[in-house]
Each structure stands twice: as structure tokens, then as C-alpha cells.
């Protein structure tokens, strides 16, 4: 009986490989950063070859550290930064251009054009997305339009496109397998999330030949085999990072949601068999499911500045030495004394969508001090997440029953309790902090038959649970102040 699962977690700044046992315990992990390439302001690229090399290096390193026998590794699951776009020559395997990263804004103007041409509704209905340079479609078009010879090669069927999952799988299977999963496909702005197929109208609009596109599969099934130090291991799980985390938290049912408290916050909620309609600013995306389970959708909303506000307190204001200390000082303050911090450094995301908003600190008196500003900053992470939760509930006409949490700032107990209080929901922080990698591992386990169904996936051990303790009166009073603070931040920049 094979005993281990390897998760490959290909992030935006580093690749990691994590070896799990079948109970979801981490045996070993290895991590390697790779170069961030900024050719112009607002442009972000990666070298796909470096990503592949760093993934192989961390995989063998994790195996070596763990001391397990390679033949005991049952399967590999891949989770990845979504939307980032690679185009390569199918014969030589060479990328024709660097990977264009999700953050890259080079196609913003073209996206504005698409909006003015009236494409918004069609794209929303078909792909579940708002028109934005984040998504892969305009990046592929940019490569075909701007790299010498690329358009002609694409027309000849010589080029392949993939997000990072596709690129890694193709490389690791020596060019035999050109696939992606539905979660990644649903972030390309080319995929019809209702019909579960690439959309002809959008392919024509962006002038992208269908021959470039990978086959779209479920997130847990056998895709192909990788040779690792002489042993053949199946790749049997693929999911984009946020959907992998939703799966890793076992949010398999409608109304179950998770929030990843990292630099920004990413909230996803399982909406079952129906995608949300975006009326309250949520994106509709496909949730991860293995080949034996029905397709589920998720509503997605994000907060631009989450844990980053704590970095700002540390690096810009200099009132903290470490992010961890924020909990101690916040507790010391007892309450925020009417102080609100709105970290709208780059505008406000869902549900406000105000790019003219800017950060404010309001409600200060002569007695307001550092501890209250620190506390109010942590509270701001929870208030912003709460705004997304409430919009999500309105949009999906259902209540979030439990919120699962992960990401760096989820280790802050004050923040987790405040989130529970202000949103009036139970917040659960699993002991295993690797929800994303765990999701990829579970999917791979299902995909290769190691788990025969989701019921066999182990529980993650001892979780921290935070339950609401705040009175309705206090909650309303605090939220009223937050809404006033948002008004102060809104529309600050002159248009
Ligand atoms: P990412 O994956 O986006 O790089 P992480 O999940 O590693 O982010 O989380 C890092 C973020 O969490 C940073 O913005 C940091 O300021 C914040 N953070 C880390 N620890 C804490 C803490 N104990 N309290 C509040 N914020 C924290």
C-alpha cells in the first residue's frame, strides 16, 4: 500500500513541494523562490523554464529530506497561481515569451476597449468573470500579436497555451499530456462555465486558435505519469490555488466557505450546482471536484489589502517589529476607541469597486494611540472580509454557515475572534496551515483511487474554533462606524 502524496504548490513568488502522509500530516517540504521580472512599470513576468526547474528541484529535495522510499509515493497533485499564461512551441518545448503573470497590467487598455464594445455582459454570463487584465485571454492575445512569428506559428498549430498547471504537466510528462482542470480553465476568460467548454465566440474575438488550448478535465483524475528518479508516479490532481484551498478545507457543500488571510484576502464559497450572477460584485468560478463528483461552482470575492496593512504598520509607520506582535498590542488596547483604519491604498474592491478610494484613519481623539491604530488595522481586515461575506450572502441568497481560515494572518487569534464577532459566524482555523497544498493532495488521492470517495478524506486533527461573543447591539454599533469610515475613504482621488 502506497503511503504518501506529493503536492506541488506553484505560487507567485516561489515553488514548494510538500509530502503528505494519508492522514494529511506534512512529512517534509522544500521551497525555492524564483525571479520576478518587471520589464516596465505594471508589467510582471516569470521565466517558465525556471519555474519548471525549481519545481523539480524542490520535489527531489522534499523526498530526500523526508527519507521515504520513492516507490511509496502514490501520486502527485498540482496547485498553482492562476491565470498566469505560458505559450510554447510544441516541438521544441521552448516558451516563445516569458510567462505573463496574473498581476501584469499590460492589457488593461485593451480590456477597457472590450468594455466599451459592450462585451461585459457576454463575458460575465459565459465565463463568470469581469473583464480584467488579470485573466489569461488578453495575455495570450498579447503574445500572439506582439511576439515575432507567434501568430503565424499559432495558425499553423505549432503553439500551445497553458496556465502553470498545464505547463508543468506537459513538461513533466515529456510533452505527452496537454491538459488543464476546470478550476484553472474558469480563470482564463475563454471558458464557458455553463457548457463546460472553450467558448467559440471568445476564441474568435481574441483570435486564439482552438488548437492551442489544453483539454479540460476534472480536478482529480489520472492525467499522466512523471518519471521521478527512475520511478513512474501518476499526476492525478490539478486545481488553481484558491479552489484547492476551498477543497483542502473540505468545503464540499453549498454555503461552506473559506477565507485565505494573506497579503490580500480571498474568499470563496461553494454555491453548489449553480454559478452566482455577479449582481453584488462576486465572480463565479468552478470549484474543484474529482472525476466521480458533480461539478460545483464557487462565488469568489477578494480584499486587496489584507495582511498587507500589518506590513504597512511595520514597514511604513514603524509601530510594529513583527506582524505577530500585532495580536499582543491589539489585545492591550481593549477596544479601538472609535478609531477606524480603511487601508484602501489601491482603491476598494468588492463590494465597493471604487478605484478612487484611498486609505484613511478616522475617529481619532487626543487619547488615541499606537495600540488602537494596530487594533483598528486588524479589525479592518475583518471588516473588509465581512463586507465580502455579506455581499456574497446577498448574491447567493444563502448564509455562510462556517468560515474556514488559512493564510499567514489566520494565526492571529484576536483577528479570528473579531471576524467571528463581526460576521456572526463560527470561524475555524485547522491545525494544518497548508490548506492549498492539502487540497491538491486530496484531489490527487481521489484521482488515483487512493481515496475511493470524499468521505475517506481524513479530518485535519485539532482545529481552533472561534464563536461569536459580541452582542447584536455592539456589532451594529461597530459596523455603523465602519460604514462611515468607508464613506470617508470613498472617491478621495479627483477624477
Ligand atoms: P501571501 O501568501 O499572500 O504572501 P501569507 O499567507 O504568507 O501571504 O501571509 C502573509 C501576510 O500575513 C503578511 O501580509 C503579514 O503582514 C500577515 N501576517 C502574518 N502574520 C500575521 C499575524 N500574526 N497577524 C496579522 N497579520 C499577519
pLDDT digits (tens, 9 = 90+) for 419-478: 999 999 999 999 888 899 999 999 999 999 999 999 888 876 678 999 999 999 999 999
Whether the bond into 51 is cis, omega within 30 of 0: no
In a domain, 187, yes or no: yes
* Cβ-contact 261, 414 below 8 angstroms: no
Q: Is 210 exposed, middle or buried (0-12, 13-18, 19+ CB in 10 A)?
A: exposed
Domain range spanning residue 111?
4-239
Rounded to the nearest 10°, the torsion over CA 431, 434, 435, 438 is: -110
Q: Ligand 1 centre and the CA of 414: distance in Å?
A: 14
Residue 224 belongs to some domain of the structure = yes
> 487 CA distance to ligand 1 centroid (A)?
27
pLDDT score for 133:
87
Q: What is the pLDDT of residue 68?
A: 92
Q: Please name the residue whose Cα sits nearest to atom 23 of ligand 1.
A: 324
Ligand 1 site-directed mutation target among 264, 307, 329, most atoms within 8 Å of CB: 307
Q: Which CATH number characterizes residue 52's domain?
A: 3.30.420.40
Question: To test the ligand 1 pocket, which listed residue (13, 262, 313, 414) has its Cβ within 8 A of the most ligand atoms?
Answer: 262
DSSP run (H or E) holding 94: none
327 occurs within a structural domain: no
Total domain count, the chain: 1
Q: Is residue 410 part of a domain?
A: no
Q: Given the CA of residue 307, which atom of ligand 1 is nearest to it? A: 14
Bridge partners for 256 per DSSP: 402
CB atoms within 10 A of CB 105: 15
Are 4 and 20 within 8 A, CB to CB?
yes
Task: Please indicate, yes or no, whether the overall pTM of this predicted structure exceeds 0.75.
Answer: yes
Counting as low any pLDDT under 50, the low residues of the chain are none
Residue 353, number of CB atoms within 10 A of its CB: 11
Is 309 near ligand 1, meaning CB less than 6 Å away?
no
Task: Look at the block and give the residue holding cell 477596544.
Answer: 335
Helix axes 108-116, 136-146, angle to 10 degrees: 110
In a domain, 132, yes or no: yes
Q: Does residue 14's CB lie within 6 angstroms of at least one atom of ligand 1? A: no
Helix or strand run (H / E) with residue 415: helix 413-423
448 lines ligand 1 (CB under 6 A): no
pLDDT for residue 36: 87
Query: Residue 157 falls within a domain, yes or no?
Result: yes
Q: Is 103 in the pocket of ligand 1 (CB under 6 A)?
A: no
Q: What is the residue with the minimal CA distance to atom 7 of ligand 1?
A: 408
pLDDT attached to residue 397: 87
Q: Check residue 468 and give its pLDDT.
A: 97
Q: What is the pLDDT of residue 221?
A: 97
Choose which residue among 302, 313, 323 to substitute to test ligand 1 binding: the one with the highest number of ligand atoms within 8 A of its C-beta. 323
What are φ and ψ of residue 31, in 5° steps?
A: -140, 145
In a domain, 188, yes or no: yes
The atom number, within ligand 1, closest to the CA of 311 reads 16
Q: State if residue 437 touches ligand 1 by the CB under 6 angstroms criterion.
A: no
* Total residues belonging to the chain: 495
| 68 located within any domain | yes
Amino acid at each position: 500500500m502506497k503511503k504518501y502524496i506529493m503536492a506541488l504548490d506553484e505560487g507567485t513568488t516561489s515553488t514548494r513541494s510538500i509530502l503528505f502522509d494519508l492522514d494529511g500530516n506534512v512529512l517534509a517540504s522544500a521551497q525555492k523562490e524564483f525571479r520576478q521580472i518587471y520589464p516596465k512599470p505594471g508589467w510582471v513576468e516569470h521565466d517558465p523554464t525556471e519555474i519548471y526547474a525549481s519545481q523539480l528541484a524542490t520535489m527531489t529535495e522534499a523526498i530526500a529530506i523526508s527519507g521515504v522510499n520513492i516507490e511509496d509515493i502514490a501520486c502527485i497533485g498540482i496547485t498553482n497561481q492562476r491565470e498566469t499564461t505560458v505559450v510554447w512551441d510544441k516541438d521544441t518545448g521552448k516558451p516563445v515569451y516569458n510567462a505573463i503573470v496574473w498581476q501584469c497590467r499590460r492589457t488593461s487598455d485593451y480590456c477597457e476597449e472590450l468594455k466599451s464594445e459592450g462585451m461585459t455582459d457576454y463575458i460575465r454570463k459565459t465565463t463568470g468573470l469581469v473583464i480584467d487584465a488579470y485573466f489569461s485571454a488578453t495575455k495570450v492575445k498579447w503574445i500572439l500579436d506582439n511576439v515575432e512569428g507567434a501568430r503565424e506559428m499559432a495558425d499553423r498549430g505549432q503553439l500551445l497555451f497553458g496556465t502553470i498547471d498545464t505547463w508543468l504537466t506537459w513538461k513533466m510528462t515529456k510533452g505527452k499530456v496537454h491538459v488543464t482542470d476546470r478550476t484553472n480553465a474558469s480563470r482564463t476568460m475563454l471558458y464557458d462555465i455553463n457548457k463546460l467548454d472553450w467558448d467559440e465566440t471568445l476564441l474568435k474575438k481574441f483570435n486564439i486558435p482552438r488548437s492551442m488550448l489544453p483539454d479540460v478535465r476534472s480536478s482529480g483524475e489520472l492525467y499522466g505519469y512523471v518519471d521521478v528518479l527512475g520511478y513512474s508516479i501518476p499526476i492525478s490532481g490539478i486545481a488553481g490555488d484558491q479552489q484547492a484551498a476551498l477543497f483542502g478545507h473540505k468545503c464540499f457543500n453549498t454555503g461552506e466557505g473559506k477565507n485565505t488571510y494573506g497579503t490580500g484576502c480571498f474568499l470563496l464559497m461553494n454555491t453548489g450546482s449553480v454559478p452566482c450572477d455577479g449582481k453584488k460584485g462576486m465572480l463565479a468560478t468552478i470549484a474543484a471536484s474529482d472525476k466521480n463528483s458533480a461539478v460545483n461552482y464557487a462565488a469568489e470575492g477578494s480584499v486587496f489589502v489584507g495582511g498587507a496593512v500589518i506590513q504597512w504598520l511595520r514597514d511604513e509607520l514603524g509601530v510594529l517589529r513583527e506582524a505577530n506582535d500585532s495580536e499582543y498590542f491589539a489585545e492591550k488596547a481593549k477596544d479601538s476607541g472609535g478609531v477606524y483604519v480603511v487601508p484602501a491604498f489601491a482603491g476598494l474592491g468588492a463590494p465597493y469597486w471604487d478605484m478612487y478610494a484611498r486609505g484613511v484613519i478616522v475617529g481619532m481623539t487626543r487619547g488615541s494611540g499606537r495600540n488602537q491604530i494596530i487594533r483598528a488595522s486588524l479589525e479592518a481586515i475583518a471588516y473588509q472580509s465581512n463586507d465580502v461575506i455579506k455581499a456574497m450572502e446577498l448574491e447567493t441568497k444563502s448564509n455562510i454557515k462556517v468560515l474556514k481560515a488559512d493564510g499567514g494572518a489566520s494565526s492571529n487569534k484576536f483577528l479570528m475572534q473579531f471576524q467571528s464577532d463581526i460576521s456572526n459566524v463560527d470561524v475555524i482555523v485547522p491545525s494544518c496551515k497548508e490548506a492549498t497544498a492539502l487540497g491538491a493532495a486530496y484531489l490527487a488521492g481521489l484521482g488515483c483511487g487512493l481515496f475511493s470517495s470524499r468521505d475517506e478524506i481524513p479530518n485535519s486533527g485539532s482545529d481552533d474554533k472561534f464563536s461569536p461573543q459580541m452582542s447584536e447591539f455592539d456589532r451594529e454599533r461597530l459596523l455603523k462606524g465602519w460604514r462611515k469610515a468607508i464613506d470617508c475613504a470613498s472617491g478621495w482621488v479627483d477624477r
